[in-house]
Amino acid sequence: MDITYEHVTKKFGDVAALSNFSLHVVDGEFMVMLGPSGCGKTTALRCLAGLERPSIGLVKIGQRVVNNLEPRDRDVSLVFQSYALYPHMTVRDNIMYPLRIRGMAKAERERQAQEVADRLEIGNLMDRWPRQLSGGQRQRVALARAIVRDPACFLMDEPLSNLDAKLRVHMRAELKHLQKSLGTTTLYVTHDQAEAMTMADRVAVLSNGVLLQVGTIDDIYRHPINIFVATFVGSPSMNLLPVSFEPAACQLVQAGLFSMDAAPLLPRFQIGAASGDQYILGVRPEDLAVSLESRPNSIPAEIYAIEPMGNEALVAVDAGDARLIARAAPTFQAPIGTHCWLTFEPSAIHLFESASQNRVGEN
């Protein structure tokens, strides 16, 4: 079932938690709403679930406007961060509850509950109480309760946040596999960009109640619309350096640190012609090469710290007033304070306007 927000604004008093929010989620899609705490993503989910009503705009499930429908009439299943299991009910009764309030015969609801529980590998826990379950088992029960309803769409509000790191990684794969096998439209809220990158068909990035960018994670990672998106998506985040454009020499210049030939960038970016136009140059850590030997057209720097990660090393360096992060081979070693040099290919550069912080238009 398609989900559509049309110019939705939600205000709490004078505060706009969501501003002119428009988003279309196609049938069967796994859409992740990503952003920091307070950005409006949970408010958008609650407007769809019927727990909040938009101040302005329309919310649709399929072709039906649901603004004034009660939550029970929207045919959605909501999975909470806190699991929200009934402590006085067994696992079996928790899963069967949505079927019981529909008036389904006991034998049929037990059959369906057992079928879903087996699919989630909790079929042997049906007679336990929630307090007897681990965090991962409780999350599976909450998922089973949502799935057994066979809703038009799943709404998930940071469902993995309470799990430990290892279990979160496992459950990401489980959820993605489950959603694809069921084919149910899913709207998933998280502040964790790793969840968004590994699970989503498409990602909607929000900040301060405003939808900034929608696209595949590859689109957003490679073509962030502004500096906020560029630094929020990707870990470690994108390195940023202020530069000015000097058209006479056709160079981008970082005063006292480096200058680079801007000619390779002109076919990509619509760079202004005025001398001294200010930009922010961005480069991902994997595109930044660090060397202990001087290289042509390199940026001089100094080793600040090295973080061995097993499969790689993250090298933090100070270049002028900027601290930059580069990915290096796991064998890279150097004492703190060692002089080094940084290089990157022009094709790896991202360029943003200094004033607006928006990405410079690409051809």
* Strand positions, DSSP E, 216-349: 239-246, 251-254, 258-261, 277-283, 289-291, 299-308, 313-319, 322-328, 339-343
Decide if 238 contacts 288 (C-beta within 8 A): no
Alpha carbon of residue 75 to chain centroid: 26
Q: What is the pLDDT of residue 316?
A: 97
Task: Give per-residue pLDDT as tens, 11-33.
Answer: 999 999 999 999 999 999 999 99
At residue 192's C-alpha, the angle toward residues 187 and 195, to 5°, is 60
State how far the Cα of 36 lies from the Cα of 46, in Å rounded to an integer: 17
pLDDT band of 82, cuts 50, 70, 90 = confident
CA distances from 349 to 61, 216, 227, 240, 361 (A): 40, 20, 13, 10, 13
**Which two tokens mark 42?**
């949970």
Decide if 1 contacts 153 (C-beta within 8 A): yes
State how far the Cα of 147 lies from the Cα of 143, in Å rounded to an integer: 6
State how far the Cα of 86 lies from the Cα of 314, in Å rounded to an integer: 45
Q: Which domains does the chain have, with CATH numbers?
A: 3-232 (3.40.50.300), 239-353 (2.40.50.140)
pLDDT band of 272, cuts 50, 70, 90 = low
Query: Looking at the predicted structure, is the pLDDT value of residue 134 above 90?
Result: no
Full-model pTM: 0.88
- DSSP per-residue string spanning 162-220: TS-HHHHHHHHHHHHHHHHHHT-EEEEEES-HHHHHHH-SEEEEEETTEEEEEE-HHHH
Beta bridge partners of 277: 245
Task: Give per-residue pLDDT as tens, 340-362.
Answer: 999 998 889 999 999 899 998 77
Query: Looking at the predicted structure, is the pLDDT value of residue 275 above 70?
Result: no
For the residues 255-266, what does the mean pLDDT come to? Answer: 81
For the residues 214-230, what does the mean pLDDT come to? Answer: 96
Query: Looking at the predicted structure, is the pLDDT value of residue 129 above 90?
Result: yes
Query: Across all residues in the chain, what is the average pLDDT?
Result: 91
Q: What is the pLDDT of residue 283?
A: 96
> Tell me, what DSSP letter sits at residue 360?
P
CA distances from 77 to 8, 45, 48, 132 (A): 21, 11, 11, 24
Decide if 349 contacts 252 (C-beta within 8 A): no
3 state DSSP class of 153: strand
State how far the Cα of 220 lies from the Cα of 229, in Å rounded to an integer: 8
Q: What is the pLDDT of residue 57?
A: 97
185-190/30-34 β-pairing: parallel
pLDDT band of 139, cuts 50, 70, 90 = confident
pLDDT band of 274, cuts 50, 70, 90 = low
Task: Give per-residue pLDDT as tens, 35-59.
Answer: 999 999 999 999 999 999 999 999 9
